[in-house]
Amino acid sequence: MKKSTENPADLSARIAGEIRDAIVSGRLIVDERLPSEAELASQFDVSRPTVREALKRLAAQSLIRTQRGATGGAFVNRLRFEDAYGQQITTSTLLLSMNEVSFDVACEARFTMERACAPLAAERRGPEHLARMRAEIERQQQPDLSDEAFCASDVAFHRALVDAAGNPVLSYQLAGAVEGMLPLMNMITFTARSRENILRLHGEIAEALERRDSGAVIEALSALEHYTLQLGQQVIVARTARQG
Amino acid sequence: MKKSTENPADLSARIAGEIRDAIVSGRLIVDERLPSEAELASQFDVSRPTVREALKRLAAQSLIRTQRGATGGAFVNRLRFEDAYGQQITTSTLLLSMNEVSFDVACEARFTMERACAPLAAERRGPEHLARMRAEIERQQQPDLSDEAFCASDVAFHRALVDAAGNPVLSYQLAGAVEGMLPLMNMITFTARSRENILRLHGEIAEALERRDSGAVIEALSALEHYTLQLGQQVIVARTARQG
DNA sequence: AGATTTCATTTGTCAGACATTTAGCAGCAC
DNA sequence: GTGCTGCTAAATGTCTGACAAATGAAATCT
């Protein structure tokens, strides 16, 4: 009952773990101030640099924030979605880029979840969501758009679709799944023809959402999944050829 | 173009950011060894403790691992799902427990994603998944089971369902959504009657999955969502009453 | 009373040292 | 030559002590 994690870890990791447990279990509540570094050092019977390493670990996970000065110190951070987004995206990106996950699997997961959002989005979408989607469609029509900008706009489009579901947890999960695929998507060369195909499907999605026709949204998303998979295959082939 | 993050941050945060960018962008590849702490200190023109704080930040995100000894050092870590799970669960748990997300919203997100797994699971489920689910159902029937153990078994049951979809990214996302709700679920007092209801639905899910009837799985999951929401409401009421 | 100064507290950073771990090499015995 | 032993060097882990910078609050002056 004394130490939650296994023994032979680094001191700073152990201390970070103990404080993390205290936060997650609720023994330390939001905005509560932790003891000063010197006090923690004496409590855990270690030096201040060791305590600092532990605190930096927690700061990296956005569990605490620090403040300098007389009334400063380390405070339990109220985890915000923006903070969680960043970590989620970093993690997803790495899982993909390190080949731990294939493009196909990531693609399937992404569109599976996105389709799951369709019924909610069809029910709850507001005019602002339609406007955002239409704006991105318009941008995607500009012929002098770079491939990277096209990808970014594509992400924004799907982001609007997911946000229309009105559930921040879904938005958060999808952010990782969609933006994590960005690096690979950015390797795709979008021909005029492929842009045309994508644009047509985006248009269908927007229209279906306006009609609150979730079935049509799902259908268009499935078509888009199939097409994205095709485009992704080309990148995979090119990449493995270069590596081999 | 020189520094990706804003200027007035801590040195250790800036250094961690630069190394993180190098990893995410692929300039540092998996299992590559970073320069020693002393070399990094001289490269960034800071002291070794500062470098160490930066490295601990990265270690907290499982981006690097360190090894002591002659050929030791910091190595770019191949991010594994197990590592990602832990962080995902911690993050989800905190988002919920800090009231940043309501139980209803989390519940909706969870079951929405879980239903999305149903078609894949119905198609790909193997005997081992059915066996795991049946084992958990059996455990849940034991009348002397504590509420916490019942919850844990419930999580394991749904975990098996999601794993049956055969997509590790979905498993990863759902792990956060489901296990993040555990602390709140653990506050529920499961009466004999509520256990009976849940067990019946679990049985329906397992049977439907065996028949590869995704429609029936989705139906049972929706019923379970509705019932979970009811149980959750009681907890919310109790909690706000205690706080107010 | 209000403005200014001083001060104590706390985090941020640095320098240097020692402990510990670990791989590789040299040397010795067989 | 082979195999074991011990040494050595390199690297991380930890400690001590110190100073810099920020910041709020108390003390002081006008």
Which residues have CB under 8 Å from A209's CB, separation 6+? Answer: A121, A122, A125, A129, A130, A133, A161, A164, A217
Which residues have CB under 8 Å from A179's CB, separation 6+? Answer: A89, A92, A93, A155
In chain B, what residues touch A167 (CB-CB under 8 Å)? 105, 108-109, 112
* A231 to A141, A194, B47, B171: CA distances (angstroms): 19, 9, 47, 25
> At which of B20, B44, B76 does a domain end?
B76
Number of domains in chain A: 2
Both B119 and B62 in one domain: the answer is no
**Local confidence band at B6 (pLDDT 50, 70, 90 cut-offs):** very low
Report the protein residue whose CA lies nearest the C1' of nucleotide D22: A69
Are residues B57 and B13 in contact, defined by beta-carbon separation less than 8 angstroms? yes
**Residue A3 falls inside a structural domain:** no
Helix (H) / strand (E) containing B120: helix B103-124
Query: Which domain does A152 fall in, by range?
Result: 82-243
Q: Do the chains contact at B109 and A170, CB–CB below 8 Å?
A: yes
Question: What confidence score (pLDDT) does residue B238 get?
Answer: 75
Question: What confidence score (pLDDT) does residue B2 get?
Answer: 34
**Residue B4 falls inside a structural domain:** no
pTM listed for this prediction: 0.86
Of B61, B93, B97, the CB nearest to A60: B61
> At which of A76, A93, A117 does a domain end?
A76
**Residue A52 falls inside a structural domain:** yes
Per-residue pLDDT of chain A (244 residues; tens, 9 = 90+): 333 344 567 899 999 999 999 999 889 999 999 999 999 999 999 999 999 999 999 999 999 999 999 998 999 999 988 888 888 899 988 988 887 788 899 999 999 999 999 999 999 999 999 999 999 999 999 989 999 999 999 999 999 999 999 999 999 988 888 888 888 888 888 888 999 999 999 999 999 999 999 999 999 999 999 999 998 887 777 777 776 5
State yes or no: pLDDT of B127 exceeds 90: yes
Both A68 and A134 in one domain: the answer is no
Could you tell me if B169 lies within 8 Å of chain A, comparing CB atoms?
yes
Both A71 and A150 in one domain: the answer is no
CATH of the domain at A98: 1.20.120.530
Are residues A144 and A224 in contact, defined by beta-carbon separation less than 8 angstroms? no
Helices (H), A125-213: 127-141, 147-163, 168-179, 182-185, 192-210
CA distance B187 to A85: 28
What residues 185-244 of chain A have any CB closer than 8 A to a CB of chain B? none
Both B96 and B153 in one domain: the answer is yes
**Residue B58 falls inside a structural domain:** yes
CATH of the domain at A17: 1.10.10.10
Both A181 and A234 in one domain: the answer is yes
